[in-house]
Homo-oligomer: A and B are copies of this chain.
Amino acid sequence: MACTVSGVRKGFRPTITDVAALAGVSIATASKALNGRQDVRDSTRQRVLEAARELAFQPNELARGLLSGQTRTVGLLTSDSAGRFGIPVLLGAEDAFGAGEMAVLLCDARGDAIREQHHLRALLSRRIDGLIVVGESTDPRPSVSSDVPVPVVYAYGPSEDPADVSFVPDDVGGAAMAVRHLLAMGRRRVAHVTGPAHYKAARDREEGLRLALAEAGVAQTGQTLCGPWSQRWGRHAAEMLLMAEPEIDAVFCGSDQIAAGFVEIARERGRRVPDDLAVVGYDNWEVLSTETRPALTTVDMNLEMLGRTAAQHLFAAIDGRATPGVHRMPCELVIRDSTGRS
């Protein structure tokens, strides 16, 4: 009787009309049966459900969206998703949306403002319910909210407009936490090697360092050294620093790449890590942080969680409950061997 079809005819898509016809009812009744509404006799509902199953019927979200004005689709606009940091945020957001039955339209502007406008138009013409903008760094970026008639949430890179909703890692807090850990391990001669000073991330992390040192009444050893975020720079900085300030017993590095380079040189120069020298990284980029010798104590920005939170907040904003402002999400200190056993 019921001829179960394995596979699907290419191109053919059954409509609710087909289902209604097969079940021998009107489309209105079929709709009510399928959506679990009242005013349908149980036996009728069963017939409709059976017909829908047999035809592998999938309601057309386009038609549904056209009617309801809600597409249950959000845009995810990234400036540079190739970047190390955009990806986890994106994944967290995708995860949260997936759980909420939302679909995600992905756009990568590749750092180009023209392309960004282009994508924005494409998203709007597809009637997204909301938008997440993922930055490529924690530096504030121009707001797009005024061009967009739906709620917008910024993740990782905040909007320049404080009236927008932004979620960023708390780099000041993360850095302070890392340095407090160094101090708790008894270190008092703490140096600092980080990335280019024009990055907000570098400045924030420096502020966290100062904060924690000031709390403990300890002075920083040597100047903050700024360079690229790379391992190469970590090696170079280590060579300079071990020469210039040989008495240091701890280094706070602005990234795991820098830290990886630093421990490499320290090891070569015969400094035992962590016994002679404790090293802390930042980012918890596991391919580096777990593979250096010794494995790095480092700050994890919880980016996936940040993305998830931003997505959940977007839900709230779509429902009209937004909390504007910059929300700083706490970081987490991952303690490994490079700062010694506690």
Which A residues have a C-beta under 8 Å from some C-beta of B? 6-13, 58-63, 65-66, 71, 73, 76, 81-82, 87-88, 91, 94-95, 98, 101, 103-108, 110, 115, 119, 121-127, 146-150, 230-232, 257, 261, 285, 287-288, 291
CB distance from A105 to the nearest CB of B (A): 5
A103 x B105 contact (CB < 8 A)? yes
Cβ-neighbour of A126 out of B61, B82, B121 (below 8 A): B61
Complex Cα distance A62/B66, Å? 6
Q: Which residues of B have CB within 8 Å of A81?
A: 87, 91, 94
Give Cα A235–Cα B7 distance, bound, in whole angstroms: 49
Instruction: Report, nearest first, the 6 A-B pairs whose CB atoms are least far apart.
Output: A7-B146, A231-B291, A106-B106, A58-B125, A8-B149, A61-B126
Contacts of A287 in B (CB 8 A): 231, 257, 285, 287-288
Q: Give the one of A61, A124, A126 with max B CB within 10 A.
A: A126
Residue of B nearest to A108 (CB): B94
- Whole-angstrom distance between the Cβ of A233 and the nearest chain B Cβ: 10
A-B contact pairs, 27 of them (CB 8 A): A6-B146, A7-B147, A8-B147, A8-B148, A8-B149, A11-B149, A13-B149, A58-B121, A58-B124, A62-B66, A62-B127, A73-B105, A73-B126, A82-B88, A91-B108, A94-B108, A95-B108, A95-B110, A98-B115, A101-B122, A103-B107, A104-B105, A105-B105, A230-B291, A257-B287, A261-B291, A287-B287
Copies in the complex: 2
A285 partner residues in chain B, CB cutoff 8 A = 287
